[in-house]
Amino acid sequence: MNKNSFILLTGAAGFIGSYLLGYLNKQGYNKIIIVDDFTDEDKWFNLSNKKFITKVERDELFDWLRSADPKIESVYHLGARTDTTEFDYSIHQKLNVEYSKSIWNYCTEKNIPLVYASSAATYGNGEFGYKDNHDIVGELKPLNPYGVSKNEFDKWALQQTSQPPFWAGLKFFNVYGPNEYHKDRMASMIFHGYNQIKKTGKVKLFKSHKPEFRDGEQLRDFIYVEDVANVCYWLIENRVESGLYNLGTGKARPFKDLVTAIFTSLNREPQIEFIDMPEDIRDKYQYFTEADMNKLKEAGYNEKFFSLENGVQDYVKKYLLRNEYY
C-alpha cells in the first residue's frame, strides 16, 4: 500500500476497527478516512492518540464519497451490528447486509481491494464443521440473527460476478484484546473475568447444559486482536486468492483455561463459580468452535499466533491493569 494514498476504515471507533487504526498508524499510514456512528461517546476513547485524515458518520458515507470522490487505495469494512443478543433481524439486515452490499458495490465500481468482517457465528452448531469452504456457505445454519446476517452477506458476495479486484471476508472467531471497554455484555470473557476478579476475587462461568461437556470445558478458538490486525494488513498487502477466510488460531481452548490465564496474569490462584446459563441464549450457545486455518496458511500466511496464555497476559498487564487503550 502507498502511504500517501487513502484508506477507508468502517467501524473505526469500535473494538477491532480502532485497534486496526492504531496498527495502521504504527505501519506509517495516517491518511485514513474513518467511518462509524460517532454519537456513541463511550467509543471516543478508542480514537485517542490515533491519526486519521477525516471522520465520516456512517449514515452519510455514500453521499460523502460521491461529493468528495477521494482516491482510496483499500477498504477495511469492519463496521457492523455485532450484538448476538439483538433478535430484531431488520437491524442486522440493514447494517450487516444492505450496508455491506453498498460498500462492495463501491469497491467494485472504483476497483478498490476490500477486506470485510464476516464471523464464526455463521457456522452455527458446527454441523458442517469449521472449514472456510465456499461450498458449505449455503447450507450453514447460524444460531442467531447476527450470524444469519453475516452468512447472508457471504452468500451474496460469492454469487457476484462483479467483484472488487481483491476481496476477503474474514470469519472472526473469539477475538479479545484492548479497546473493548465500551462493549458491555458483548465484551470478551477476559474483560468480564478481569472485572469480576477485581470486584469479588472469583470468576463466574456458565455451567454446561450438555452432558458431553463438563462445566468450564466449553471450547472456543480465542484469538488476540493483534493477530487479527496482522492478518487484515497482510491480506491487503499480498492480495492472495479472493474469498472467505477463517481467522482464529486453529486451536480450541476451554473457558477454564482462559480464566486460569487471567488469574495467572494477576498472580492469583483460580477461583471459579459455575452458574446457570440464561435461558434466552441456552439453545443458541456454541459449545465448540475451532477455526480450520489451512486455507490462510496455504495462501502464504505463516506468522505465529499468540497463545492464549501469552495473549491474555499481554492484554491484562499492558492494558486492563493500567486502564489503557491501544
**Which residues neighbour 216 within 8 Å (Cβ) at sequence distance 6 or greater?**
205, 208, 254, 255, 256, 259, 272, 274
Active-site annotation holds for 146: yes
Question: Which residue in the list 19, 106, 146, 224 is annotated as catalytic?
Answer: 146
**Which residues neighbour 60 within 8 Å (Cβ) at sequence distance 6 or greater?**
none
Tell me how long the chain is. Answer: 326
Active-site annotation holds for 295: no
Residue 297 dihedral angles phi and psi, to the nearest 5°: -60, -45
The alpha carbon torsion through 171, 173, 179, 184 (nearest 10 deg) reads: 110
CB of 235 within 8 A of CB of 199?
Answer: no
Question: Which residue in the list 51, 131, 183, 207 is annotated as catalytic?
Answer: 183
CB of 249 within 8 A of CB of 219?
Answer: no
Q: How far apart are CA 75 and CA 86, in angstroms?
A: 27
Active-site residue list: 146, 183
